[in-house]
Amino acid sequence: MKGVPRLGVPDLLLTDAGLGIGNPGGGRKGDTATASPSGLLVGATFNPALARQWGRILAHEARARGFNVVLGGGMNLRDPRHGRNFEYFSEDPLLSALMASEQVIGTQSAGVMNMLKHVSLNVHETNKWFLDAVIDPAAHRESDLLAFQIAIERSEPGSLMCAYNKINGAYACGNDPLLNGAIKKAIDFKGFIMSDWRAVYGWDFALKGLDQHSGVQVDEQERFVGPLREAYSQGKFPKERLSDMVHRILRSIYASGIDKWSGPGPAPDMAAHHEAVVETARQGIVLLKNEGAILPIVGKKRIAVIGGHANIGAMGGGGGSSLVIPWHGHALQMPLGGEGILGGLRRYVLNGPAPLTELRKLLPDANVVFDSGEYPVQAVMQARRSDVAIVFANKSESEGFDSPDLPCRTGRTHSSVPSPRRIRTRSSCCRRGTRCRCRGAGR
């Protein structure tokens, strides 16, 4: 968004920053960034200080590139089938809010504006441009909106991003009960609300609470220029609302301090940033039960490493706005394709170093052997011949694509591809009266 130089109002220069400073499609040649562990792992640390530290890392790396607004983090509550689960912190409103708000505090303390997303109920990717999340207002306030309320009150983010989906019949970015009623009135959010890319369908979204039409370069029309001006000239759009939009944007610019600097900042300490995210990864490892004192792995003569392309790298987010090109590059990046506008961005990505290589470094006295897992019988034989087996199981997730099925509690397959028009947000697998279809379950 263009600023007003004569008034000292800077341009708003935005960058994706869900799990690091994004570089969509590698458009900025040679521009790499620190890649965070998944939001799920960050949430599993239960350590807000790490989230605040990550916010500062984002700010320093954004400023080095001249960006003054980071689009993240994502804090929607997670559905088990959602293709963007790896970006989000948890299913708990309090934990998600604490981690997200600390990230905001860290970013904005370093002079860069932070934006939280996606308001609200962005829990599906397949058909997300059409889905209608039908939910009782009280249940909404006790779930996703509760998380946003806590995060807003604790950290005062400069901006929020509204979601693609509908909520009770109205698109999130043009949803008056949500944006004007819940966010601005009930929660008393003082910043501005921007749209996700291709999420605006009319100038009247401005009347319903949207303050900025973002990503207009990929929309059919720039709704907040020609159409909004025409509505203003015809008296359909009040001057008071226009002033409120401008006031909210200016307020956030000055509150975050992005008016006090311009141009790229100093080069960040990438080595220190790398060590910080490695420590986050360590703290996010959750061990449920160390049965038989399997860990730590010491004194083992033969160790089998099985599956997951562990001889190449560890899986990263599979595409979209959260895909980061790490400072050492990708160990493997393979296009997966798919239907829809995001199909071209979908990737199978592995980031180095390879777990197999690192295990051999850490355990020089052990014979560490690798099996691809391509043939289960062969993998089982390898495991039986070893003192311990480490199995890597990968599940690719990506913006734009949900998991088509999951096992039910009954052991049957749960068909979870949502209707192209409607979902019930409080449905759960195999419970009577829901939209769940468990093949062979009789419901």
Helix 48-64 / helix 270-284 crossing angle, nearest 10 deg: 150
> What residues does 15 pair with on adjacent strands?
70
Torsion angle defined by CA atoms of residues 166, 143, 397 and 281, in that order, rounded to the nearest 10 degrees: 150
Task: Say which DSSP state 435 is in.
Answer: S
Label the pairing between strands 330-335 and 347-351.
antiparallel
The catalytic residues are 196
For residue 406, which amino acid is it?
L
Sheet harboring 347-351: ordered strands across? 314-315, 347-351, 330-335
Nearest to 228 by CA among 211, 253, 247: 211
Label the pairing between strands 113-119 and 159-162.
parallel
Distances 131 to 200, 228, 229, 265 between C-alpha atoms, Å: 15, 26, 30, 41
Task: Say which DSSP state 178 is in.
Answer: I
Residue written as token pair 């916010």: 55
- Report the chain's C-alpha Rg in angstroms: 23
Residue written as token pair 């509690």: 409
C-alpha span between 176 and 350 (Å, rounded): 42
388: helix, strand or coil: strand
E runs forming strands in 5-76: 14-16, 69-74
Question: What is the number of H-type helices and E-type strands within the chain?
Answer: 11, 18
C-alpha span between 237 and 441 (Å, rounded): 54
Torsion angle defined by CA atoms of residues 399, 404, 407 and 412, in that order, rounded to the nearest 10 degrees: 170
Helix (H) or strand (E) holding 243: helix 239-256
Cα angle value 137/140/146 (rounded, 5°): 130
Q: Quick one: how far is CA 137 from the chain centroid?
A: 24
C-alpha span between 372 and 391 (Å, rounded): 10
